[in-house]
Amino acid sequence: MKNTPFTQKHIALGAKMAEFAGYNMPISYTGINDEHAAVRNNAGIFDVSHMGEFILKGEHALDLIQCVTTNDASKLTNGKAQYSSLTNNSGGIVDDLIVYCIDENKTYMLVVNSSNIEKDWNWILEHNTQNAEMHNISDKTCLLAIQGPNSTKILQPLVEDDILNLKYYTFIRSEFAGVKNVIISATGYTGSGGVEIYFEDKDDNADKIWDAIFELGKSSNIKPIGLGARDTLRLEMGFCLYGNDIDDTTSPLEAGLGWITKLNKDASFTSKEILLTQKAEGIKRKLVGFEMMERGIPRHDYIIKDVEGNTIGKVTSGTQSPSLNKAIGMGYVDCSHSMLDNEIFIDIRNKPLKARIIKMPFS
């Protein structure tokens, strides 16, 4: 397993460690429910240095991004970021990602899922017919996500520039805890506000920043958070997890990601024609959120049935929601059964348990 620059700190803090995307990662420290509540109510820090980062530069960088992503990156200006997806040749999702505009029409950073770094790199490279400059900086980039309603207030004394008024999906470059040229962005995955900080793994930067955050945050009770709570937090918001809710076989339209699929943008992109056809003819299945009406926790790949016992889909994600104190989940169902308040049944240990389709984010 690979380590991040913070692995020994997690171990020293007593984290429960496990393999995730080839990395030795913290799953929990004091327990998922406790860590979940810390982020929802105060602030917590996640090590997400396993994520991948690519730099695309040059006069054809934007053309390449437009060719491989579904959103319209031509709308981005300096300091703006955009959620998007890469699509394959059959309408499926290669990955979901965030595109950061560092220098308009010249330099962009793509942040991709850790399990897809090599796949994404090869896919983008395959479409780089105009030879845009590409750099994979994943192994030398640290990424921490400090999430929660009090995050920016706690961190502000460490930052040279204002982060209290950083708007969603924007970013700045600033000095952070004495480390220069840190990217600080508001593109969180928890729904509780906060920032993500990207910086180069050199000159003890990792130790400087981690230690400074915890020293300053001691009086505010900032906590380290593992990937277990990251999953429950994102699921309450209805955010997709690649490999669970979206993959190479699901289209962005089926996944409810039509809002990042700009079929009318000037540039053509992979699967655009397939997705145009899907939109015109209608999709056959749809990703929905549901809450359990009977006691039971839905898990990935559990079968979803209708009231007559017919199979109509599968669960993609599910958990006992720490904030809502009820079991919730997401899954694909036939469109004819996807209406809000529709009664469905989840097969849990060979027993069909009643659930109800509800709007996301969950509440």
In angstroms, rounded to a whole number, what is the distance separating the alpha carbons of residues 172 and 161?
8
CA angle centred on 97, ends 126 and 217, rounded to 5°: 140
Q: Which is nearest to 95 in space by CA: 230, 239, 247?
A: 247
Classify the C-alpha dihedral 320-325-327-331 as positive or negative.
negative
Q: What is the pLDDT of residue 325?
A: 96
One-letter identity of residue 203: D
pLDDT on residue 169: 98
pLDDT at 4: 98
Whether the Cβ atoms of residue 303 and residue 266 lie closer than 8 Å to each other: no
Helix, strand or coil for residue 280?
helix
Q: What is the pLDDT of residues 290-325, one digit of tens each?
A: 999 999 999 999 999 999 999 999 999 999 999 999
> Do the beta carbons of residue 223 and residue 29 sit within 8 Å?
yes
Within the chain, what is the greatest distance between any pair of CA atoms?
A: 63
Q: Which residues of 258-285 are buried (b: 16+ CB within 10 A; e: fewer)?
A: bebbbeebeeebbbbebbeebeeeeeeb
Strands 171-176 and 179-185: antiparallel
What pLDDT was estimated at residue 93? 98
In contact, 35 and 29? CB cutoff 8 Å: yes
User: How many CB atoms are located within 10 Å of the residue 89 CB?
Assistant: 9
Residue carrying the six token digits 């690649």: 242
DSSP bridge partners of 134: 56
Whole-number pLDDT of residue 192: 98
Residues 50-99: tens digit of each pLDDT? 999 999 999 999 999 999 999 999 999 999 999 999 999 999 999 999 99
Mean pLDDT over residues 280-295, rounded?
98
pLDDT at 159 (0 to 100): 98
Which pLDDT score is estimated for 315? 98
pLDDT in tens, 171-180: 999 999 999 9
The pTM of the full predicted model, rounded to 2 decimals, is: 0.97
Mode of pairing for the β-strands spanning 326-334 and 285-292: antiparallel
Q: Which element (helix H / strand E) includes 12? A: helix 7-12
CA nearest neighbour of 288 among 340, 252, 324: 340
The pLDDT, as a whole number, for residue 205 is 97
The per-residue pLDDT for 15 is: 98
pLDDT at 327: 98
Span 215-262, pLDDT tens digits:
999 999 999 999 999 999 999 999 999 999 999 999 999 999 999 999
Q: Are 102 and 108 in contact (CB under 8 A)?
A: yes
Burial call 289-309: b when 16+ CB within 10 Å, e when fewer: bbbbbeebebebebbbbbeee
Q: Is the dihedral of CA 285, 288, 290, 296 positive or negative?
A: positive
Pairwise CA distance, residues 336 & 317, whole Å: 21
Distances (CA, A) of 325 to 28, 110, 294, 330: 19, 36, 13, 16
- Tens-digit pLDDT profile for residues 147-186: 999 999 999 999 999 999 999 999 999 999 999 999 999 9
Task: Give the pLDDT confidence of 191-204 residue by residue, as tens digits.
Answer: 999 999 999 999 99
Contacts for 260 with CB less than 8 Å, ≥ 6 apart? 70, 71, 82, 83, 84, 85, 252
Q: Where do the H-state alpha helices sit in 193-266?
A: 205-217, 227-236
Region 24-44: mean pLDDT is: 98
Measured CA to CA, the distance from residue 75 to residue 317 in angstroms comes to 32
